[in-house]
C-alpha cells in the first residue's frame, strides 16, 4: 500500500471466481478429490509486512472466520503473538505500517467498498477510527514513510464523485485538507518529501498532467492528451525535479521514461519491451535511485535491472529458492531485510525473511500449508489465433495426469477474466485448481482489451462488448475442440464481473456452444449498468461511453450487446450469484436476468448474499457458492461414459 499511481486504463470490475466437475479418461490416474474447503478457506497466514525498524513482523490470519492483523517480534523461536484487531463481520481489506509503533488498516461494510481507515498501536492500544464517515470511501495517496506521524489520504466526503487530499495525523485523527478537488482530479502524487506536487485530471475523454514546484503554488497544466495515451507518473527523480513515468505517447507499449514537467518533454527513454507494457518500478528511497522495472509476460513477472547490487540480491535469493518464482513483498526502512514470497502455478507460496548482510533466507510461513503441490495441476501457456488473425495468449490447465498430447474430449470450463481491461496471469488460482481437481480442463484467455499488451490491443476492444471480444472467447473454445481436447458436448462458461457478462453473452449469442453457464456478479443490461455506476466513477462516464458505448448515440449497439434483451436465445441452464451490496454491478443486473429467464421457463438458479458486494469475501459464503457451483456443473456436464 505504497504511493498510488495514476493510469486511466479503466478496470470496471474484477473478481475472483470458480467451477468444478469429475470426469476422467479411465487410462489416466485420477487425482485425489480434495475437500472444497481446502481451496477456498482463508489462508493460514498472509500479507506479511515488516516494521520500518525491522523489529516486528505483521501478518493477517483468521480469527473467528475473518482475516485479522497480528504482530510478532522478529527472531527465532519467538512464540508470543499479539492479535491487534477483532473483526468478526468482514475481513480487514488491507493494512500497512504507519511507523514503528502504529499500524493503519482499511475495512468496509458488507462489501460496499466505502473503505474506512483505522489505526492501532502494536500493543493493541489506541485503536481509533480515523475516517469512519458513513458512505465515504478512503484512498491512500502516500504512506509518508519518512514522516512517522502522518499519511496523505483522499476522501470523497465533500463530494461523492471526487476525492480531496488530506494530511492525516495517524495518532490523533486530525486532518488538514491540502487542496479542494475542482471536480476533475482523478489522482494525486507527492514528491520524496511528502509534498503534494502532481495531479492527474480527466475532462471528458481528455486527461491532463498538472504540476507545481511547491505546495503554496497553484497547479498548472503540463500536458493534455486523449485518455488512450498514457503518461503515468510513478515517482519523482531523486532531486524531486523530474518524473519516472510510464508512457505510450508516440509508441504502442508503455515504456519507462524520464519526463520533465517543467518543459513538458520526455527527456530519456530508459527501458521499453517490444511485446509487453512496463507495469512497475523499483526505486530505493534509501539510496535515492532507480533500481529496476518489471513487466508481465505470459510465463509471469519479468524484471530488467538498472542496479547491479539489487540484481545480485535477487540472484542470491533465486539460488536459495531453487529458481522458484518469487517477489519482494516488503522491506524495512534500511532496505536490508526483505519479506520474500515464493509462488508457482501449483501453490500460492511461502513467506521468507531475507537478511541482506548475512545472506540468510529464513522460512516463516506457508499460505496454504494443507495444499500439496503434487496434487495440483500445471498451468500451461498456450496461444491461438482469432478469426481475424490476432494472437491470443491463454492458459490451459488440464486435470492432473493429462498432457497436451494425451488430453482428449475432456469436459471444459471456459473462464474469461473480469475487468475487462485487466488480464490473467500465470500462477496459482484456487478456482482453477479446484476445477482441475474435479476433472475439468480450464481455459483462461487474454482476449482483446486485456491490459499489458499495448495500446492497440486495448483500443480494439472499445465498443466490442459481446462482439469481437466475445468472438475471441468463442475462438478459444473452437480451438480446444479442433485440438480434440474439449468434448464439444461438455463445455461450460463461467466468469466473474466482466467474465459474468461474457458468460451471459456466450449463452445468448452462441447458444449452441455451451452446455451451461455460471454468472458471478456480471452485467446483463449495458444501459442500466452505465446508469448505476458508483458516484466516484461519474467523472469517467464520457470515457466509459467511448469504451463501452453511449446510451443515446450507440443505442442500437448497446441493445444488441445486452444479454437481457435476448434471453429468448438462451437454451442452456444458468446459475447466477450476486452480492446485494455490489457498488460496481448493481444487484438489479442479476435480478433483471433472472426475471426474464423465469418468464421464458428457462432453468436459472439464483444465489444472493445480503452481506456481500462485488464478489464473495466471507469464507462461509465462498463455501456455499462454490459448493452450489460444483453441483450445478456436475449435473449439467457430467454424463455417463
pLDDT value at residue 639: 52
Q: How far is the C-alpha of 421 from the C-alpha of 561, rounded, in Å?
A: 17
Which phi and psi angles does 296 have, rounded to 5°? Answer: -100, 110
As a whole number, mean pLDDT of residues 21-31 equals 50
Cell of 341: 514470497
- Listed in sequence order, the residues at least 6 apart from 98 whose beta carbon sits closer than 8 Å to its beta carbon are 104, 119, 143, 148, 151, 170
Mean pLDDT of 613-638: 96
Instruction: Tell me how far apart the alpha carbons of residues 127 and 533 are, in angstroms, rounded to a whole number.
Output: 33
Q: Is residue 407 part of a domain?
A: yes
Instruction: Look at residue 21 in the predicted model and tell me its pLDDT.
Output: 32
Residue 146 near residue 285 (C-beta atoms within 8 A): yes
Separation between Cα atoms, residue 451 and residue 584, nearest integer Å = 20
Residues 355/344, Cβ–Cβ less than 8 Å: no
Would residue 590 show up in a list of annotated catalytic residues for this protein? no
431 strand-pairing partners: none
**Which residue, 164, 182, 200, sits at the end of a domain?**
182
Q: Is 567 part of any domain?
A: yes
Q: Based on the domain organization, do 421 and 554 belong to the same domain?
A: yes
171 with 204, same domain? Answer: no
Inform me whether the pLDDT recorded for 641 exceeds 80: no
For range 1-20, the mean pLDDT = 44
The answer to whether the CB of 40 falls within 8 A of the CB of 437 is no
Given 58, 208, 497, 524, the catalytic residue: 497
- In the chain, pLDDT over 70 holds for what percent of residues? 94
59 and 97 co-located in one domain: yes
- Residues 356, 360, 365, CA angle at the centre, nearest 5°? 110
Domains contained in the chain, number? 3
435 shares its domain with 553 = yes
Confidence of residue 75 (pLDDT cuts 50, 70, 90): confident
Q: Does residue 112 contact residue 121 with C-beta atoms inside 8 Å?
A: no
555's CB contacts (< 8 A; 6+ apart) are: none
Q: Which helix or strand (DSSP H or E) is residue 362 part of?
A: strand 360-366
Examine the fold and report which residue of 182, 203, 237 is the final residue of a domain before the chain moves on: 182
CATH number, domain of 125, equals 2.120.10.30
Q: Is there a catalytic annotation at residue 614?
A: yes
State how far the Cα of 333 lies from the Cα of 51, in Å rounded to an integer: 8
Q: Would the pLDDT of 494 be above 50?
A: yes
Between CA 564 and CA 500 the distance in angstroms is 13
What is residue 638's predicted lDDT score, i.e. its pLDDT? 78
For residue 188, which of 222, 154, 148 has the smallest C-alpha distance?
A: 154
Does residue 261 share a domain with residue 167? no
- 417 catalytic, yes or no? no
Tell me what pLDDT residue 23 has.
38
Instruction: Write the pLDDT tens digit of every residue in 312-352.
Output: 999 999 999 998 999 999 999 999 999 999 999 999 999 99
Q: What is the pLDDT of residues 390-434, one digit of tens each?
A: 999 999 999 999 999 999 999 999 999 999 999 999 999 999 999
pLDDT at residue number 640: 33
Q: Which of 192, 234, 545, 614 is catalytic?
A: 614
CA gap 571, 603 in Å, rounded: 9
* Angle (deg, nearest 10), helices 468-482 and 498-509: 70
My answer on whether 455 and 429 are in the same domain is yes
Q: Is 237 within a domain?
A: yes
Q: Same structural domain for residues 171 and 193? A: no
Question: How confident is residue 29, by pLDDT bands cut at 50, 70 and 90?
Answer: low
Mean pLDDT (the chain, rounded): 94
In a domain, 200, yes or no: yes
Check whether residue 509 and residue 606 sit in a common domain: yes
Confidence of residue 53 (pLDDT cuts 50, 70, 90): very high
Does residue 3 lie in a domain region?
no
The CA distance from 171 to 128, in Å, is 8
pLDDT at 25: 46
Q: Same domain for 151 and 222?
A: no
In the listed set 167, 182, 197, which residue is the last one of a domain according to the structure? 182
Between CA 320 and CA 210 the distance in angstroms is 45
Q: Establish if 351 belongs to a structural domain.
A: no
The CATH number for 396's domain is 3.40.50.1820
Query: Range of 489's domain?
Result: 380-637
Q: Do residue 163 and residue 280 come from a single domain?
A: no
Q: Is residue 38 part of a domain?
A: no
* Cis peptide bond N-terminal to 420, omega within 30: yes
User: Do 200 and 162 belong to one domain?
Assistant: no
- pLDDT band (50, 70, 90) for residue 601: confident
Q: What is the DSSP string of 487-537?
A: EEEEEEEEEETHHHHHHHHHHHHSTTT-SEEEEES--S-HHHHHHS--GGG
Average pLDDT over residues 143-149: 93
Q: Say if residue 485 is in the same domain as residue 624.
A: yes
Q: What's the confidence (pLDDT) of residue 13?
A: 55
The one catalytic residue in 582, 590, 617, 636 is 582
- Residue 14 above 90 pLDDT? no
With respect to residue 290, please indicate whether it lies within any of the assigned structural domains: yes
Query: In the chain, what is the straight-line distance between the N-terminal and C-terminal CA atoms, in Å?
Result: 51
Amino acid at each position: 500500500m505504497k504511493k498510488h499511481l495514476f493510469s486511466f486504463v479503466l478496470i470496471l470490475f474484477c473478481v475472483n471466481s470458480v467451477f468444478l466437475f469429475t470426469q476422467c479418461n479411465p487410462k489416466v490416474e485420477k487425482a485425489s478429490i480434495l475437500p472444497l474447503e481446502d481451496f477456498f478457506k482463508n489462508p493460514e497466514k498472509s500479507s506479511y509486512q515488516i516494521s520500518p525498524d525491522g523489529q516486528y513482523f505483521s501478518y493477517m490470519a483468521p480469527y473467528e472466520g475473518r482475516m485479522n492483523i497480528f504482530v510478532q517480534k522478529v527472531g527465532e523461536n519467538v512464540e508470543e503473538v499479539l492479535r491487534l484487531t477483532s473483526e468478526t463481520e468482514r475481513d480487514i481489506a488491507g493494512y500497512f505500517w504507519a511507523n514503528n509503533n502504529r499500524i493503519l488498516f482499511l475495512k468496509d461494510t458488507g462489501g460496499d467498498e466505502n473503505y474506512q481507515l483505522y489505526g492501532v498501536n502494536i500493543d493493541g492500544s489506541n485503536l481509533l477510527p480515523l475516517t469512519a464517515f458513513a458512505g465515504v470511501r478512503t484512498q491512500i495517496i502516500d504512506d509518508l514513510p519518512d514522516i512517522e506521524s502522518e499519511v496523505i489520504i483522499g476522501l470523497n466526503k465533500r463530494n461523492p464523485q471526487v476525492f480531496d487530499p488530506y494530511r492525516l495525523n495517524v495518532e490523533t485523527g486530525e486532518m488538514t485538507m491540502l487542496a479542494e478537488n475542482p471536480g476533475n482530479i482523478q489522482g494525486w502524487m507527492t514528491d520524496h518529501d511528502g509534498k503534494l506536487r502532481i495531479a492527474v485530471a480527466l475532462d471528458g475523454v481528455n486527461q491532463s498532467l498538472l504540476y507545481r514546484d511547491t505546495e503554496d503554488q497553484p497547479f498548472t497544466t503540463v500536458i493534455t492528451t486523449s485518455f488512450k495515451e498514457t503518461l503515468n507518473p510513478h515517482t519523482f527523480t531523486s532531486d524531486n525535479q523530474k518524473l519516472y513515468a510510464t508512457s505510450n505517447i508516440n509508441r504502442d507499449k508503455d515504456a519507462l521514461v524520464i519526463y520533465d514537467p517543467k518543459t513538458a518533454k520526455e527527456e530519456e527513454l530508459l527501458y521499453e519491451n517490444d511485446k509487453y507494457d512496463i507495469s512497475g518500478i523499483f526505486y530505493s528511497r534509501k539510496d535515492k535511485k532507480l533500481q529496476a522495472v518489471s513487466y508481465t509476460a505470459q510465463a509471469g513477472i519479468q524484471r530488467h535491472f538498472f542496479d547491479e547490487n539489487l540484481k545480485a540480491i535477487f540472484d542470491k535469493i533465486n539460488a536459495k529458492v531453487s529458481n522458484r518464482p518469487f517477489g519482494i513483498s516488503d522491506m524495512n526502512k534500511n532496505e536490508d531485510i526483505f519479506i520474500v514470497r515464493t509462488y508457482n502455478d501449483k501453490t500460492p507460496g511461502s513467506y521468507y525473511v531475507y537478511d541482506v548482510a548475512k545472506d540468510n533466507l529464513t522460512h516463516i510461513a506457508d499460505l496454504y500449508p494443507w495444499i500439496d503441490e503434487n496434487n495440483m495441476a500445471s498451468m500451461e501457456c498456450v496461444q491461438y489465433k482469432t478469426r481475424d488473425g490476432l494472437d491470443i495468449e491463454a492458459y490451459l490447465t488440464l486435470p492432473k495426469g493429462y498432457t497436451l498430447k494425451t488430453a482428449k474430449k475432456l469436459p471444459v470450463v471456459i473462464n474469461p477474466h473480469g475487468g475487462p481491461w485487466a488480464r490473467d496471469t500465470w500462477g496459482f488460482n484456487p478456482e482453477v485448481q479446484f476445477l482441475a481437481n474435479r476433472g475439468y480442463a480450464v481455459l483462461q484467455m487474454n482476449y482483446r482489451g486485456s491490459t499489458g499488451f499495448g495500446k492497440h490491443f486495448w483500443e480494439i476492444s472499445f465498443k466490442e462488448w459481446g462482439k469481437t471480444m466475445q468472438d475471441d472467447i468463442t475462438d478459444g473454445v473452437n480451438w480446444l475442440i479442433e485440438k480434440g481436447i474439449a468434448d464439444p458436448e461438455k463445455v461450460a462458461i463461467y466468469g466473474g464481473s466482466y467474465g459474468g457478462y461474457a458468460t451471459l453473452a456466450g449463452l445468448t449469442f452462441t447458444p449452441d456452444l455451451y452446455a451451461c453457464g455460471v454468472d458471478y456478479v456480471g452485467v446483463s443490461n449495458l444501459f442500466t449498468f452505465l446508469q448505476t455506476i458508483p458516484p466516484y466513477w461519474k467523472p469517467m462516464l464520457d470515457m466509459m461511453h467511448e469504451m463501452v458505448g453511449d446510451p443515446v448515440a450507440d443505442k442500437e449497439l448497446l441493445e444488441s450487446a445486452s444479454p437481457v434483451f435476448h434471453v429468448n436465445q438462451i437454451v442452456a441452464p444458468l446459475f447466477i450469484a450476486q452480492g446485494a451490496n455490489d457498488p460496481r454491478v448493481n444487484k438489479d443486473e442479476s435480478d433483471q436476468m433472472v426475471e426474464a429467464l423465469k418468464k421464458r421457463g428457462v432453468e436459472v438458479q439464483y444465489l444472493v448474499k445480503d452481506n456481500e458486494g462485488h464478489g464473495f469475501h466471507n469464507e462461509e459464503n465462498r463455501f456455499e457458492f462454490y459448493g452450489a457451483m460444483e453441483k450445478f456443473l456436475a449435473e449439467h456436464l457430467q454424463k455417463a461414459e
